[in-house]
Amino acid sequence: MSVPDDLLVDVTGLAAELASAEPPTLLDVRWRLVGPPGRADYLAGHLPGAVFVDLDAELSGPPGAGGRHPLPDPAALQRVLRAAGVRAGHPVVVYDGGDGMAAARAWWTLRWAGHRQVRVLDGGFPAWAGAGAPVSAEPADPVPGDLTVRPGGMPALDAGQAARLAAEGVLVDVRTAPRYRGESEPIDPVAGHIPGAVNLPAAEYVGADGRLPAADLLRARFAEAGVRPGVPVGAYCGSGVTAAQAVLALHRAGRPDAALYVGSWSDWLTDPARPVAIGPDPDPVPGPDPERP
């Protein structure tokens, strides 16, 4: 099985590319689910030449009917990416604060927008700074780019497609087991999962430092969750950020067809008619009708 070699770049490789005549465009997408935006981290120190892009405000649409991190408006995304210096046919490297989630969502969003030459810095900013590589506090002033956003470059699911995939293929829920089982929900108003979805928490296939293991290890771990060759596969989480990292991992494992339910659980809950399953198994009897916003 072929494994793409254009997903990740390590510190040594990136440093060499940045010293070349045609360095890649750098996007700093440091982000926290709860807490202050990552811009303050960027201003305190970032990779030289990197441009900060806000995952919440610039790489996602406004929260609402589509969930907490819906797809951005293509025209708005194009303005953001051009302002950040993203050019057609020119490589981009994205990095975050080290857990790999925001970088993976940025990687997915740019590829969805039609830009194929996008990689994630393995280990993010901590790996770069920890290696003693140069850090700058000077905000970048990029030359505007010319990327034309063409949506559809990555498989994306809506709620109906996610439900069908859970019934006919493998839909992986990468949230923690208590959230999947319906025992607790710290963010969204209702706990539980999409009926038919299987649970594989992100911590079981991503290292504590946010790095992805080797392709064969990822294949084995996803196989334990039921992912098999020829069977359609997709992923969801709370709002499509951690699940984007699952899609990146599936690409590394040789499944570039893996789809992302962008709205994820936060979108699923916007329609009271959609069933909520509880318990440890993919297909338990749905729980009592919850009150939903």
> How far are the Cα atoms of 68, 81, 292 from residue 188, in angstroms, in the given order?
9, 30, 10
* Model pLDDT for residues 262-291, shown as the tens digit of each residue: 999 999 999 999 999 999 988 754 544 444
pLDDT band at residue 34 under the 50/70/90 scheme:
confident
Best CA proximity match to 112, nearest among 279, 258, 1: 258
pLDDT for res 254 = 96
Q: Is 95 a catalytic residue?
A: no
Residue 293 has pLDDT above 70, yes or no: no
pLDDT for res 284 = 55
pTM, rounded to two decimals = 0.94
Dihedral (Cα; 46, 61, 235, 111), 10-degree rounding: -60
- Which whole number is the average pLDDT over 118-124? 97
pLDDT for res 151 = 98
> How far are the Cα atoms of 15, 24, 92, 160, 168 from residue 95, in angstroms, in the given order?
14, 12, 10, 32, 35
The reply to whether CATH 3.40.250.10 applies to domain 156-268 is: yes
- Which whole number is the average pLDDT over 161-170? 97
Phi, psi for residue 84 in degrees, rounded to 5: -85, 0
* Model pLDDT for residues 236-260, shown as the tens digit of each residue: 999 999 999 999 999 999 999 999 9
Residue 7 has pLDDT above 80, yes or no: yes
- Which whole number is the average pLDDT over 213-232? 96
Best CA proximity match to 83, nearest among 59, 116, 51: 51
Average pLDDT, whole number, for the chain?
Answer: 94
pLDDT band at residue 292 under the 50/70/90 scheme:
very low
pLDDT band at residue 5 under the 50/70/90 scheme:
low
Q: Which residues contact 86 (CB under 8 A, 6 or more apart)?
A: 25, 27, 92, 110, 115, 145, 147
Percent of the chain at pLDDT > 90 equals: 90
- Which whole number is the average pLDDT over 132-139? 96
pLDDT for res 258 = 98
Contact present, 126 and 135 (Cβ < 8 Å): no
- Which whole number is the average pLDDT over 4-27? 93
Q: Which residues contact 147 (CB under 8 A, 6 or more apart)?
A: 78, 81, 82, 86, 87, 88, 113, 114, 115
Best CA proximity match to 223, nearest among 242, 249, 192, 262: 249
> Which segments of the chain belong to CATH 3.40.250.10?
8-130, 156-268
Spatial strand order of the sheet with 170-173 comes to 156-157, 259-261, 233-236, 170-173, 198-199
Best CA proximity match to 150, nearest among 106, 103, 102, 116: 116
Q: Which of 27, 93, 237, 262 is catalytic?
A: 237
Cα-Cα end-to-end distance for the chain: 45
pLDDT for res 288 = 45
* Model pLDDT for residues 65-96, shown as the tens digit of each residue: 899 999 999 999 999 999 999 999 999 999 99
Contact present, 128 and 209 (Cβ < 8 Å): no
Q: Which top CATH class is 8-130?
A: alpha beta
pLDDT for res 4 = 53
- Which whole number is the average pLDDT over 136-143? 95
Largest Cα span, the chain:
61
Question: Partners of 136 in the beta sheet?
Answer: 46
Residue 3 has pLDDT above 70, yes or no: no
